[in-house]
């Protein structure tokens, strides 16, 4: 398979320095060779340009959203690059950077496929809006914007309106949800698999339930967006918003295997590694293990 690796050194969505280093940090530790050893034709498309913004201008876009204009610009550019990659028959592997980039990558997928769904593996819901966000950090809003909810500039990234139907969104591994997110989940009847349910039923049950819903809803294409904070911070300390009681690496790999075995995954994000917060490269090595695992199964 042809794999296009796209780096997005974006830290504005989380408003935390360090996460922008992740794409180059993983490259320096053999990212491309890991993909190629599985027989893929891997191309490094470099890093998207992220314009510098002064911290004094973080609220210049209004509505209490930090760095709105720049994040929208970066996501528009990312969406175009993902769209071009898919149209060229390649697999886009997007390396972040913070999770606000998921708005652009999934928007690019949505332009290619009407019948697509999103699997969002994350400790957080990322479904806040400008009205519900307690922080104004846009990395907590991309998924709601993709469903057509929230600030119009986020909703209209790359194309006007929603990119995915709420019934085609699957949130897995959540264990830190804000009040506004819980309201949205209940209102839209989202498919959410929090960690307490995973502990009761097992990650295998979750994977099978999602697979059944994919089939029932005739979803033929998946964008798989992975935040490393979905994994327990004991195994992945190098991330800006760690939440205890997450997935073990074994649970994570089992779930990823099951989803990849559907042959429906057409694109992926791996986000929120912050090397400056890591301990002896534990999380960086885990990210490389994830990439190795993915490359072995796509």
Nearest residue to 268 (alpha-carbon basis) of 106, 27, 40, 100? 106
Whether 272 sits among the annotated catalytic residues: the reply is yes
Whether 178 sits among the annotated catalytic residues: the reply is no
Whole-angstrom Cα distance, residue 148 to residue 161? 5
Q: DSSP letters along 261-277, please?
A: TTT-EEEEEEE---GGG
Phi and psi at residue 54, to the nearest 5°: -70, 140
Q: Spot the catalytic one: 15, 251, 269, 272.
A: 272
E runs forming strands in the chain:
2-8, 41-47, 91-96, 116-121, 169-172, 191-193, 221-227, 265-271
Contact 194, 174 (CB under 8 A): yes
Whether 227 sits among the annotated catalytic residues: the reply is yes
Cα distances from 97 to residues 16, 63, 100, 179, 272, in angstroms, run 10, 23, 8, 26, 6
Q: Spot the catalytic one: 40, 139, 151, 223.
A: 139
Whether 229 sits among the annotated catalytic residues: the reply is yes
Q: Spot the catalytic one: 15, 98, 126, 269.
A: 126
Q: Spot the catalytic one: 153, 227, 269, 278.
A: 227
Whether 126 sits among the annotated catalytic residues: the reply is yes
Q: Taking each helix axis from N to C terminus, what angle separates 102-112 and 68-87, rounded to the nearest 10 degrees?
A: 40
Q: Spot the catalytic one: 40, 124, 151, 223.
A: 124
**Per DSSP, what are the bridge partners of residue 93?**
5, 268
Measured between alpha carbons, how far apart are the two ends of the chain, in Å? 8
Q: Spot the catalytic one: 99, 232, 251, 278.
A: 99
Whether 139 sits among the annotated catalytic residues: the reply is yes
Whole-angstrom Cα distance, residue 97 to residue 285? 16
Catalytic residues: 99, 122, 124, 126, 139, 227, 229, 272
């Amino acid at each position: 398979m042809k794999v296009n690796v796209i780096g997005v050194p974006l830290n504005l969505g989380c408003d935390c320095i360090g996460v922008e280093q992740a794409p180059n940090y993983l490259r320096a530790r053999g990212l491309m060779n890991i993909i190629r050893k599985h027989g893929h034709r891997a191309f490094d498309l470099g890093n998207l340009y992220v314009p510098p913004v002064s911290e004094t201008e973080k609220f210049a876009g209004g509505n209490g959203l930090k760095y709105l204009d720049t994040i929208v610009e970066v996501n528009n550019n990312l969406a175009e690059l993902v769209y071009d990659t898919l149209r060229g028959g390649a697999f886009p592997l997007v390396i972040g950077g913070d999770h606000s980039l998921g708005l652009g990558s999934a928007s690019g997928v949505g332009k290619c496929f009407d019948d697509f769904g999103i699997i969002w593996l994350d400790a957080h819901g990322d479904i806040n809006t400008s009205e519900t966000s307690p922080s104004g950090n846009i990395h907590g809003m991309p998924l709601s914007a993709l469903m057509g909810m929230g600030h119009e500039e986020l909703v209209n990234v790359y194309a006007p309106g929603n990119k995915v139907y709420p019934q085609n969104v699957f949130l897995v591994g959540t264990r830190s949800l804000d009040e506004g997110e819980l309201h949205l989940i209940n209102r839209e009847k989202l498919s959410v698999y929090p960690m307490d349910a995973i502990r009761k039923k097992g990650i295998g049950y979750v994977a099978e339930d999602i697979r059944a819903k994919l089939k029932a809803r005739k979803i033929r294409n998946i964008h798989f967006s992975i935040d490393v904070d979905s994994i327990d911070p004991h195994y992945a300390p190098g991330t800006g918003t760690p939440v205890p009681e997450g997935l073990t690496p074994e649970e994570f790999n089992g779930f990823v295997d099951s989803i990849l075995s559907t042959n429906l995954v057409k694109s992926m994000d791996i986000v929120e590694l912050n090397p400056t917060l890591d301990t002896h490269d534990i999380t960086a090595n885990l990210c490389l293990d994830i990439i190795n695992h993915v490359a072995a199964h796509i």
